[in-house]
Structure 1
Amino acid sequence: MIKKLLLLFCTIYFQFFIAQDSDTEYDQLRKKYENLEENDISALPYIRPYISKAKKEKNYSKLVQGYKDAVLFSSLDEEKLTYADSMVWAANHSKDKDLLIIAHIDKGVIYYYNYKKFQLALNEYLEAYQYSKNTKNEYLKYQNLYHIGVVKSYLGYYDEAAELFDKCLLYYREKSKSKIHPNLIYNNKKGYLNSLHQLIICYRHLGKYKEMDSAIETGLSEAGDNREYVQEKGYFLLSKGISEYHEKQYEKALTDLNRSLPSIRNSRDFARLSVNYFFIGKSYLAMNDAKKSVVYFRKIDSIFKKHQFILPELRENYEILINYSKKNKDQAQQLYYTGQLLKADSIMSKDFSYLSPKIHKDYDTKTLLEEKNKLQKINYLVTVIIILLIIWAIGLIMLFTKKQKKAKEIRQKYILLEEKFVKDQTIAEAPQIPIEEKRVNLHESKVEELLRKLKIFEDKKGFIQKGLTISKLASQLGTNSSYLSQVINEHKGGNFNKYLSQLRINYITNLLFEDKKYLKYNIETLAKECGIASRQNFSDLFYEINGIRPTDFIKKRMQEMEGNGD
């Protein structure tokens, strides 16, 4: 990653390309914090007056610098994003195209590095790309190419990403060995090492293991023991450990993977930390130590729960955990990890459905159109046909992929629901959701009485009454709404509406499983059968509780019954 490189570059950029005037007061303020470590909030008391001064003087180039420094030294992701927004605002007011490139790239870096929001990051990179086409600043152009390459790599377009990283390597290598300011040499060396790391990832996925191993050795040699490149060295050690795993040198793999852990943890790069844990776990698994391996696979799940992000290559993590739970006959864990896998698939599917056409239409096609204009005088017709064929092919691939993923997802959700039904003939209750409201001190006997009445209400299917409200039910049970609401919140896993919806959807789901006549009913009839007035409301609740639309469920159930000869 070249996050710190990007955030530091603006200082040198201003010095050599924009701010030839030397403002002593600005310089004095920056000297008080410019040598501090990234995320050190002790810099902020000096950055704030810097920003205030720039605002007062309407010095937008300095204001961009101030917000950029605030991004670097803030410790919270939310603050970094706020300052990045302000940076874009200041760059817009400056009307300097190069500052706009810097601001949009840096904001994209926050989305990518701190949040792993590829959709939002790509939007920023493409915005920067528009401004970079006419810039004379080659450094900014290659920064942008690097980040677009990162998104391509994530999408699995490794050949295309590798081409971009090769271009970046050539540029950064040449610049880092030229006679320029030491800080610029440092920035270009960082760019070179991070481009090399990304190229190694592409080589690994393309099966180019010889090129990968050679690049890893080059990276380790270039980074050396220089403290400035500790993070980059950690990435190369991670790549080396992965290579050793594939070569079945599991002891060596564990050594290098563990050596890389401290720097990757310190960088707060939770995506690469997950990759590290994954291959440590795989190494232990290959050495027949399943208990140790599962510890690391569960760490990946913890990261996923916290950040709601997982790399496609780590999908196998959940398959391993599901199989481990099956082997140990832990049905609760098996169900949990199956749910996590479905959630991971859903998140990755959203990224791919958005990013895949975006990267082609907003980047590749624009590049092709620029080339087409150059070649138009030579062979206009051939160029147009090529572009149309590319777009047509991409559209077909995307359509096929989307249909396949949707069909697979529906099937998985149906199987999961069926397993739950077979297990205990009912749908498991949702986890209890804490309800923040004033509690009434109810006597234990009163609570028990209301629970008994609710049990009778459930057994007699009282919940299928149309237009049932908490007031009506309270009246039927001989109590008041406040008492009933409190008992339901504390003992039934949610508020009244959630409780009622769960009962109704569980009821109709059981009927669909047990009696095939209900499979012939339309959605409106099924909704009325369980007391829900609106077709749309029924469909939404069914999906929310069961994870599958009722139409898809009925279709799968009928296919299964036909296959069984029922």
Structure 2
Amino acid sequence: MREKYEDFPENDQKAFPFLQPYIDKAKKEKNYEKLVQGYKDGVFFAFLSEDKLKYADSMIWAANQSRSEDLRIISHIDKGVVYYYHYKKYQLALNEYLEAYKYSKNTKNEYLKYQNLYHIGVIKSYLGYYEDASELFMKCLVYYREKARSVTKLHPNEIYNNKKGYLNSLYQTIICYRHLGKYKEADEAIQTGFSEIGNNPEYDLEKGYFLLSRGISEYRHSRFQPALKNLNEALPAIKSSRDFARLSVGYFYIGKSYSGLKKTKESVVYFKKIDSIFRKHQFMLPELRENYEILIDYSRKEKNQAQQLYYTNQLLKADSIMSKDFIYLSPKMHKDYDTNNLMDEKDKLQKINYLGTIIIIVLIVWAIGLVALLTRRHKKAKEIQQKYVLVEEKFTASQNSEKGTAEAVALPMVEEKRFSLNEDKVEELLQKLKAFEDKKEFTQKGLTIGKLAAQLGTNSNYLSQVVNEYKKVNFNKYLSELRINYITNLLFEDKKYLKYNIETLARECGIASRQNFSDLFYEINGIRPTDFVKKRREELENDGNR
């Protein structure tokens, strides 16, 4: 039955008239192994991303019914791939990979282990842990290369899958090399990729990725015309695969190449394409953040303040999304994968050396503890630096946006809302809230919604409704953000505040409790105030030594 549809191309709905009878037969016979395969095929051939997700969920259900550890691994990896590849929801993807990782500890299927290892490497790369990620990809390269060349031992489909695993691992390694500044190694890996693919049309997408990498390399060498040629040749395969993240990368370097040729109008067309992708998918790779900085600068030069404000808001939105990803992914990656991986290695050593001496066991535990401690310190320092940079970039962006005209920061329009409010009264209250913000009256000690309502000549319920609808947060969140953003700006603008202790900073912005201030600062900025002050002092000292 599978032979009737298995040669259809990916995302081709025409496979389903042949696939559905296969699924029905497997269901009727309660053959869960075949049913997992049917739902896996459904993921492959479904055109819509939401349909792929539905089949992935069904795949997990069937795998659980089968009670097969390997089928559970396969199903969770496939669902993770849907989240990663078609949605770029890294948080949800990581959860699936870690679930697969739990089941993979006892499997004898090495292919599944390395497949999951590859996907965890992708998350590490996205987080900026390029050294760690490249180590994982190198392990995958060794495994897939050996398997792909075992032509006498494997089925042709297995050879094909291992070859794809090898090429994808090689491409991810190139990304790591590029971000680590290992350009020579990256260029050598690109050439290896082209040599491995040759003219085989089965690997058109992988060829597209290597063309993209070569185009970026040509741009880096200021060879803009060859860069454009390679980048444009890469786009059709990447578009066809619906990999919007790498499509954005292609557009970005095409725009940069046109900029290098002094063709500003052509470059802006491609930078705007990236904004269109971001609007649709609400995702952006960290390396493309510069795209909005370029568009903001271009709008400023064109004296288009409305566009400047729009792109500033888009940059802040992108920062917010990336910040949430980093805050969630980094600790989870360390806790649920890195630490568990070390413990697994320890368990393996203990099994192998079960009859070993107590001294060896103690040394292993000590080594693991030391590695974990050093890893935590290193990662914490790296996370703090990343979070500080994000706060600094937000501050810079907010400073730029404040340079716009009054029209650019006008009050939100009063629209019809879910509850009945008098438009004139709402407009009047919004004006009062703006004055309240401009005069920094939110720094009052012990300010409550009741007290503020009395000061503004309204009642608590009315004020609460207006804040919820027009500030998009509840009153407590609104007040907390005003206070924390205020003190953050002071720490950036006036170095005398860097000498204050946490209690004084808390009082300065109207927060009575040191702990409450620290928790709110972390919630809003993603970094503790003590860490922020330390990084700010270091930055000023470094600037002074230059």
TM bucket by the smaller chain? 0.7 to 0.9
Other-structure match for 2:113: 141
Report the Cα offset of residue 269 of structure 1: 0.9
Please, which of 317, 320, 325 is the counterpart of residue 294 of structure 2? 320
RMSD: 5.0
Aligned runs of 1:23-38 on 2, under 5 Å? 27=1, 30-38=2-10
Do structure 1's residue 299 and structure 2's residue 267 form an aligned pair? no
Other-structure match for 2:323: 346
Aligned runs of 1:458-469 on 2, under 5 Å? none
Report the Cα offset of residue 63 of structure 1: 1.4
Other-structure match for 2:364: 383
- Aligned 8 A contact 1:40 1:74 in 2: yes
Do structure 1's residue 286 and structure 2's residue 264 form an aligned pair? no
- Aligned 8 A contact 1:108 1:121 in 2: yes
Report the Cα offset of residue 360 of structure 1: 1.3
Do structure 1's residue 199 and structure 2's residue 173 form an aligned pair? yes
Aligned pair in 2 of structure 1 residues 86, 536: CA closer, same or farther (>3 Å)? farther
- d(CA) in 2 for partners of 1:40 and 1:184? 22
Aligned pair in 2 of structure 1 residues 145, 113: CA closer, same or farther (>3 Å)? same
Aligned pair in 2 of structure 1 residues 404, 150: CA closer, same or farther (>3 Å)? closer
Do structure 1's residue 238 and structure 2's residue 212 form an aligned pair? yes
- Aligned 8 A contact 1:245 1:279 in 2: yes
- d(CA) in 2 for partners of 1:240 and 1:309? 24
Deviations 1:337-372 (A, max 9, x none): 542453254145323343344441233543354245
Please, which of 138, 141, 144 is the counterpart of residue 166 of structure 1? 141
Aligned pair in 2 of structure 1 residues 365, 247: CA closer, same or farther (>3 Å)? farther
- d(CA) in 1 for partners of 2:352 and 2:61? 35
Report the Cα offset of residue 394 of structure 1: 0.9
Aligned pair in 2 of structure 1 residues 125, 368: CA closer, same or farther (>3 Å)? farther
Please, which of 374, 393, 401 is the counterpart of residue 382 of structure 2? 401
Report the Cα offset of residue 199 of structure 1: 2.8
Aligned pair in 2 of structure 1 residues 382, 438: CA closer, same or farther (>3 Å)? closer
- d(CA) in 1 for partners of 2:450 and 2:33? 63
Aligned pair in 2 of structure 1 residues 285, 178: CA closer, same or farther (>3 Å)? farther
Deviations 1:514-534 (A, max 9, x none): xx9xx9897799599xxxxxx
Report the residue type matching 2:370 in the other structure.
L
Other-structure match for 2:16: 44
Other-structure match for 1:75: 47
- d(CA) in 2 for partners of 1:130 and 1:501? 38
Report the residue type matching 1:399 in the other structure.
K
Please, which of 99, 110, 116 is the counterpart of residue 71 of structure 2? 99
SS in 1 for 2:149: helix
Other-structure match for 1:367: 345
Report the Cα offset of residue 94 of structure 1: 1.0
Please, which of 129, 138, 143 is the counterpart of residue 101 of structure 2? 129
- d(CA) in 2 for partners of 1:227 and 1:338? 39
- Aligned 8 A contact 1:158 1:202 in 2: yes
SS in 2 for 1:134: coil
SS in 1 for 2:6: coil
- Aligned 8 A contact 1:294 1:321 in 2: yes
- d(CA) in 1 for partners of 2:209 and 2:337? 26
Report the Cα offset of residue 393 of structure 1: 0.7
Report the residue type matching 1:141 in the other structure.
K
Q: Percent identity over the alignment?
A: 46
What's the TM-score, normalizing by structure 2?
0.74
Aligned pair in 2 of structure 1 residues 466, 200: CA closer, same or farther (>3 Å)? closer
Report the Cα offset of residue 83 of structure 1: 1.6
Aligned pair in 2 of structure 1 residues 449, 187: CA closer, same or farther (>3 Å)? closer
- Aligned 8 A contact 1:111 1:121 in 2: yes
Report the Cα offset of residue 506 of structure 1: 7.8
Report the residue type matching 1:349 in the other structure.
F
Aligned pair in 2 of structure 1 residues 284, 126: CA closer, same or farther (>3 Å)? same
- d(CA) in 1 for partners of 2:406 and 2:416? 28
Q: How many residues are treated as equivalent by the alignment?
A: 508
What's the TM-score, normalizing by structure 1?
0.72
- d(CA) in 2 for partners of 1:427 and 1:542? 28
- d(CA) in 1 for partners of 2:526 and 2:64? 45
Report the Cα offset of residue 250 of structure 1: 1.3
- Aligned 8 A contact 1:312 1:348 in 2: no
Report the residue type matching 2:88 in the other structure.
K
* Higher alpha-carbon deviation: 100-109 or 121-130: 121-130
- Aligned 8 A contact 2:464 2:474 in 1: no
Aligned pair in 2 of structure 1 residues 52, 255: CA closer, same or farther (>3 Å)? same
* Higher alpha-carbon deviation: 335-344 or 261-270: 335-344
* Larger-Rg structure: 1
SS in 2 for 1:309: coil
- d(CA) in 2 for partners of 1:153 and 1:337? 24
Deviations 1:419-467 (A, max 9, x none): 6567669994576697565999x9xxxx779968987998899x99987
